[in-house]
């Protein structure tokens, strides 16, 4: 806390005590690429995240500085200069939130100075962008007295990601970061935003996040293409089925859908979505029954589906998961959008360090990259740090 406040004062020259906030990252245990298809997902807020140190100004200007992006220096904008600017990089997320609030008639009566720091690796699949967006909405809610619910904060952050940043994500990341519950994952219905906190640990096992260090750029990647493919498939399916989302369908519908679509690529995408929804609901039962082996089997099935039917894994993620399973993990899968980023593994506690060392060696030989590993805890959602 004191270190963050001192850095803020050094950067901005303030003498007054600023307020400090923390917004977690998130990891999704299972249920990938179905949050924009109306499915159930199973994310948790984690102890890695983004800190924001903020102090009000007496004018309508905003000054921003990120420790991780210090090469950009201080970025200054006013309430009238909030349009997207690619040279502003990370600061566009902040500007997008302020612009949204202004355009939706929220009272922005003053600007602020903002210092950002954190320990969440960017472009890793742990939702660094959503962590920042939800942080900015939460800060605005606090200092401007907006009286937003946590779900409303998540929806604003998602809207900024979709409409301002051009990344057509679902609601999972923002909602789990806004609403996280310590020591729990959230079984989340992305069609209704209903959430059920569930204990997300198994005795004798730990969750390990494995970072490929192969950065994913989802805005520039095939993420939006996958979403478009799902939308195309849904339109065809709706000519015969009365459904609002792909996740309203069941695995037993797949033979008829294959014939209806008459398109091998679209069928593969739909097959992943429908079977991943089924795996997520079965994973909930495994968690309730304290069955780590059954849960791990679903993790492995999920990765195979994301690899074969949804085609979002690639050499780096596949190599990490395969090596992890050979050296102590009972289950491993990509977490997040894929195309690089992170995987998650369920590992026997007494095998975790051995697994990390062996996987690190194998992965380096295969890819010439140094994987990173994080043993994470599940935490509460975004909050002010007192």
- The least confident of 35-39, 80-84, 132-136, 218-222 is 218-222
* Structure letter (DSSP) for residue 239: T
pLDDT of 156 above 60: yes
Q: What is the pTM of this model?
A: 0.90
Residue 219: predicted pLDDT: 46
**Contact of 138 with 131, CB cutoff 8 Å:** no
Report CA torsion sign: 32, 36, 39, 44. positive
**Contact of 117 with 66, CB cutoff 8 Å:** yes
Tens-digit pLDDT profile for residues 245-300: 999 999 999 999 999 999 999 999 999 999 999 999 999 999 999 999 999 999 99
Give CA–CA dist 95/78, Å, rounded. 9
The mean pLDDT of the chain is 94
Give CA–CA dist 35/161, Å, rounded. 15
Give CA–CA dist 243/310, Å, rounded. 21
Give CA–CA dist 216/123, Å, rounded. 5
Q: Which of 175, 167, 165 is nearest to 134 (CA)?
A: 175
Q: Give CATH superfamily name and number for 205-375.
A: GHMP kinase, C-terminal domain (3.30.70.890)
Tens-digit pLDDT profile for residues 120-146: 877 676 778 999 999 999 999 999 999
Pinpoint the residues of the chain covered by CATH 3.30.230.10: 2-199+380-385
Catalytic annotation present for 173: yes
Give CA–CA dist 63/243, Å, rounded. 47
Residue 217: predicted pLDDT: 60
Provide φ and ψ at 27, rounded to 5°: -125, 140
Give CA–CA dist 373/356, Å, rounded. 7
Q: Which of 356, 344, 343 is nearest to 314 (CA)?
A: 343
Q: Which class is domain 2-199+380-385?
A: alpha beta
Confidence of residue 347 (pLDDT cuts 50, 70, 90): very high
Which percentage of the chain shows pLDDT scores above 70? 98
Residue 41: predicted pLDDT: 96
Which of 113, 173, 248, 318 is the catalytic position? 173
Residue 216: predicted pLDDT: 67
Tens-digit pLDDT profile for residues 208-249: 999 999 976 654 568 889 999 999 999 999 999 999 999 999
Pinpoint the residues of the chain covered by CATH 3.30.70.890: 205-375
User: What is the average pLDDT across 29-40?
Assistant: 95
pLDDT of 382 above 70: yes
**Pairing, β 184-189 against β 194-199:** antiparallel
pLDDT of 343 above 70: yes
């Amino acid at each position: 806390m004191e270190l963050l406040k001192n850095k803020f004062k050094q950067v901005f020259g303030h003498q007054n005590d600023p307020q400090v906030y923390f917004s977690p990252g998130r990891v999704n245990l299972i249920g990938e690429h179905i949050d924009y298809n109306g499915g159930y997902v199973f994310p948790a807020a984690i102890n890695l995240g983004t800190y924001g140190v903020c102090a009000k100004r007496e004018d309508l200007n905003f000054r921003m500085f990120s420790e991780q992006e210090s090469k950009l220096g201080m970025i200054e904008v006013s309430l009238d200069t909030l349009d997207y600017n690619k040279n502003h990089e990370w600061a566009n997320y902040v500007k997008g939130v302020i612009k949204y609030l202004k355009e939706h008639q929220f009272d922005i009566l003053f600007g602020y100075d903002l210092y950002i720091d954190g320990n969440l690796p960017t472009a890793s699949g742990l939702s660094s962008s959503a962590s920042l967006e939800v942080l900015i909405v939460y800060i605005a809610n606090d200092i401007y007295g907006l009286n937003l619910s946590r779900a409303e904060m998540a929806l604003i952050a998602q809207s900024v990601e979709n409409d301002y940043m051009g990344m057509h994500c679902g609601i999972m990341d923002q909602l789990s970061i806004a609403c996280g519950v310590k020591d729990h994952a959230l079984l989340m219905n992305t069609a209704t935003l209903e959430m059920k906190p569930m204990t997300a640990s198994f005795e004798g096992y730990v969750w390990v996040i494995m970072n490929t260090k192969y950065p994913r750029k989802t805005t520039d990647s095939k993420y939006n293409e996958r979403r478009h493919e799902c939308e195309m498939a849904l339109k065809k399916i709706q000519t015969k089925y009365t459904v609002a989302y792909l996740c309203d369908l069941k695995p037993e519908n797949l033979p008829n859908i294959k014939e209806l679509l008459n398109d091998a690529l679209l069928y593969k995408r739909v097959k992943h979505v429908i079977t991943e929804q089924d795996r997520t609901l079965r994973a909930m039962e495994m968690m309730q029954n304290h069955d780590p082996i059954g849960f791990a089997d679903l993790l492995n099935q999920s990765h195979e589906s994301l690899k074969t039917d949804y085609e979002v894994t690639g050499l780096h993620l596949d190599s990490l998961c395969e090596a992890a399973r050979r050296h102590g993990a009972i289950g491993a899968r990509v977490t997040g959008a894929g195309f690089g980023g992170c995987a998650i593994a369920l590992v026997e506690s007494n095998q975790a360090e051995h697994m990390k060392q062996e996987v690190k060696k194998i992965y380096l030989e295969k890819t010439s990259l140094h994987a990173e590993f994080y043993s994470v805890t599940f935490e509460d959602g975004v909050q002010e740090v007192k």
